[in-house]
Structure 1
Amino acid sequence: MEYSDEEEQGSSPASALESESECPPLMAPPPPQPLAPPSQRPLLLNPAYARCKSVIHDELRSFRVFLQWCALDHSTRAGRAASYAAFLALALLVPAAVSVSLRADAALSPASASAITFNRVAQVPVTGLAAISFATLAVFFRRFGGLRQLLFLDGALRDDTTYVRRGYARELDRAFRLLAALLLPSLCVEAAHKAVFFFCTVRVDPPAALGVVLPPLLPPWRVPWRAVALVATVASWVYRTGVFLLVCVLFRLTCELQILRFEGIHHMFDVEARAAAAEIFAEHRRIRKQLLATSHRYRVFIICCLVTITVSQLGALLVVLSSGDAKSFSNTGDLLVGLAVQLSGFFMCLFGAARITHRAQRMVSIASQWHMSMVAAMHHGKSSPDSTSASDVDASRVSGSSAAVSQAEPGGAFSYKSRQALVTYLRHNGGGITLFGFTLDRGLLHTIFVFEMTLVLWILSKVVVLQ
């Protein structure tokens, strides 16, 4: 329950003594002062802002816990050192040690040699994407300091509308659930494949370096090297895949939060028709600045992931097609799981960027309809019926709200030149996420798809010619 400043002061003991000394004994105490309107209350006492900040803090706590469990917490020097040590151990040393420990055994499986080859080929893109993602996170935490600065949530709550603030917690919770939905099913499939791979397909021998240190402690033939390799490989895979998917989810979450801000501008056009063109311009320029910063932060990550996935998957396709052994889940499962996870994360980034780009380009159409409806309402004095449902088209909603405002205020609250200047500004600043000047929209996605399909067909033709 909220109280005004006068009520809070009146409830203190000192104020009670003063009121008793000032008022006569027979005089009744003064009536309580009415509550101050929300617009005149201090910002820290406004429940809307306090509630929104606490919800976002609670939701970001899930990401912070995930960062701590994955040894990606760079908030302290000890955490930073542990993060680099975990990356060297789980992303580099463990895959290399397991790869050199694998031995082909024809008695277990006739495709044992090809399974080892496929396994080593599958480790390259997973490690490469993990290195790119880890470097991206390290740069982010060193420059921006934390998740709130990375997601543009530091101080942005005061500038966002109530409509936008209500969607923050929902998008944050949805992003964390998406990360779990991508990681957990692929983990189950990868663990099942590794169990079949280590116990039914290949033989695991300790490296030569461990053979000198281990015998004084425990005979090598009594060590369950297959179980050790299974646990180490699964832990390494979870770490590398989790780092890559985390960066992809953070990029998608950034795009979704910016889409909420664009929907807030649409809400200003639709409902808050009293908002001046200058307010809409200031809000769009703030979002435009954040989109430019997002493009600069993630452009190297997106391009490096595109090159790594393209080269690794085309190379894996060439190796698999050139092999004469039978293909099964035991020898090619690594390639299938890696391909599914990598494409899922990368497509999530591309689709999120394309969605926010087209949402930004749609602003020109909404502003033009709004401008035209206001001009028609002022010149002809005709009022259009209000919108009946939220599923109506944007033109009918904008015309209905604008006509209602113009009917209530015949003089008009907007200047024709300011609205025309706003439409011109939106027409020349309608881009979203860019990659070194190229707008990441559906047209660029179609170009990438055609390029990748051309490379696949070229490799298939080479394999047919070689066979």
Structure 2
Amino acid sequence: MAYSTARSTLLDLWCDHTQTDTETQTIPLRRSLRRLKTFLRLLGFIHDSPFTLSISTLSFFSFGVAAPSLVIIFFYCGHGSSTSSACSEYHLKNFELETLFFQATAAGVSLVCFSLSFRKYGLRIFLFVDKYQGNIALFQFDYIPKIDAFFRSLAVWVIPCLLLKMAREIVRAIFIHNDSLIQSVVVVFILLISWTYTATIYLSGSTLFSLVCNLQVVHFENYKKLFERNLDILVYIEEHSRLTYNLSKISHRFRIFLILEFLIVTASQVVTLLETTGNNGTIKFINAADFAISSIVQVVGIIICLHAAAKISHRAQSLASFASRWHALLTCRSNETLQSSEHGGNFSSIGSSITTSVNYIESDIESSDYVLPPMNVESVSDVSSYLKRQAFVMYMQSNPGGVTIFGWTVNRTFMDTIFCAELTVVTFVLGKTLTFTTNNT
């Protein structure tokens, strides 16, 4: 009895010590996650209570919808005898309202989709960080650069577009000089704050999806390193099943977000194209720059999502060819070793040419997948091991994995299909509007 009590006490102390060491080692990762959570809470993605949810909703409708709409309708051109002529030349009110509508709608979809996910799963489960509690100290130094890249990517796209938006509003205020100076400054300030808020929310949603995919890339790269070790085939199958399961969960969580954003951006581009090509007036930087800036932001968000999804899909699909090469190298090496033992020869240098480093041209992001993996395996010549490896390769080829949208795998072929569809829509719209305008002229 005393022995059992002492053993239980030692086990408890050991578990507490192990947990304390793990928590101590993961302090940098927790700091990065805390910084990310604070940023998302400020944007309104994370709600701790119904009060914060109300504040987030009110902020979005106030700064993202109501304030810019009132400015465009009532204060954008000022008041005076020449207001109507100035507006007709430098300000297309309908165009501005349509741009604002699609911009706010895209940001609203991003805010709602990710807010529901954070409320249901939490930040760690959302990022799939909690799944590796035993190895979290090992992966944290790969996680932290990915989280830092989230902020860098967001700043790289938001800041240049904000400067372009600022230049447009300042030029507009200079040309339309019917308003007082204070009113012009207030109008520019409100529009810049509103645009920055909605654009940051929209691009944050796209970059968050990219972050989730990039964190999974870390585990796919680590999975390839497992082939350097002589593990049981069941270990490889179980690990691959877990990775593909995570990808299926990502596909399920984000498919509505991706479809809605794609439809909104497509509708925005079509309406913008209809308005610009069907308009009989003069399209200038002052009255049409908002269309260009909004289009840049929306297309960039879609490109970020598609690039991240295609990247993780190709990482998952490349594992089949990687496993095939691994199986072929082991089979060839085992056969050569068997022949060496039968003939009594000295084949100590066998396989040296296989593991020799090869210079490849870095012409593709997937070029590293074609480098032969270093191996530290024992000679295996029995039929059972060969059949196990063969079954594993067949399993990998039959379960390629990847991010899917209702069964459609997001890869280069999928993006080519989207490009062809968009080009068809653009050609159709241009044909209708240009022909209609020519006939009226």
Q: Superposition RMSD on alpha carbons, in Å? A: 2.8
Matches within 5 A, 1:40-439: 43-44=18-19, 46=21, 50-51=24-25, 53-101=26-74, 102-103=76-77, 105=83, 108=86, 111-113=89-91, 115-145=92-122, 147-159=123-135, 162=138, 164-201=139-176, 224-269=182-227, 271=228, 273-381=229-337, 383-385=350-352, 387-389=355-357, 397-398=372-373, 400-401=374-375, 404-407=376-379, 415-439=385-409
Unaligned 5+ segments in structure 2 are: 1-13, 338-346, 361-367
Structure 1 residue 440 displacement after superposition: 1.0
TM-score by length of 2: 0.83
2-side partners of 1:412 and 1:169: how far apart?
Answer: 44
1-side partners of 2:359 and 2:142: how far apart?
Answer: 19
Report if aligned partners of 1:276, 1:413 keep a CA contact under 8 Å in 2.
no
The CA deviation string for residues 167-209 of structure 1, in whole angstroms up to 9 with x for no partner, is 11111111111111111111111122122234423867xxxxx
Report if aligned partners of 2:318, 2:369 keep a CA contact under 8 Å in 1.
no
1:451 match: 421
The CA deviation string for residues 371-420 of structure 1, in whole angstroms up to 9 with x for no partner, is 1211222222163116354866767633x51xx4225xx67898223322
Structure 1 residue 244 displacement after superposition: 0.8
Q: Closer, same or farther in 2 for the Cα pair 1:244/1:40, shift >3 Å?
A: closer
1-side partners of 2:257 and 2:410: how far apart?
Answer: 14
2-side partners of 1:92 and 1:445: how far apart?
Answer: 32
Q: Partner letter of residue 121 of structure 1?
A: E
3-state SS of paired residue (2:281): coil
Q: Closer, same or farther in 2 for the Cα pair 1:391/1:420, shift >3 Å?
A: same
1:441 and 2:411 aligned: yes
Structure 1 residue 312 displacement after superposition: 1.1
Q: Partner letter of residue 143 of structure 1?
A: K
2-side partners of 1:394 and 1:265: how far apart?
Answer: 12
1-side partners of 2:291 and 2:267: how far apart?
Answer: 14
2-side partners of 1:161 and 1:243: how far apart?
Answer: 31
The CA deviation string for residues 87-111 of structure 1, in whole angstroms up to 9 with x for no partner, is 1211221132123214483564761
3-state SS of paired residue (1:327): coil
Q: Partner letter of residue 310 of structure 2?
A: A
Q: Partner letter of residue 258 of structure 1?
A: Q
3-state SS of paired residue (1:397): coil
Report if aligned partners of 1:99, 1:120 keep a CA contact under 8 Å in 2.
yes
Q: Which has the higher contact order (CA 8 A, sep 6+)?
A: 2
3-state SS of paired residue (2:401): coil
Task: Find the structure with the greater CA-based Rg.
Answer: 1
TM-score by length of 1: 0.79
Q: Partner letter of residue 134 of structure 2?
A: R
Unaligned 5+ segments in structure 1 are: 1-38, 205-221
Q: Partner letter of residue 130 of structure 1?
A: A
Q: Closer, same or farther in 2 for the Cα pair 1:236/1:413, shift >3 Å?
A: farther
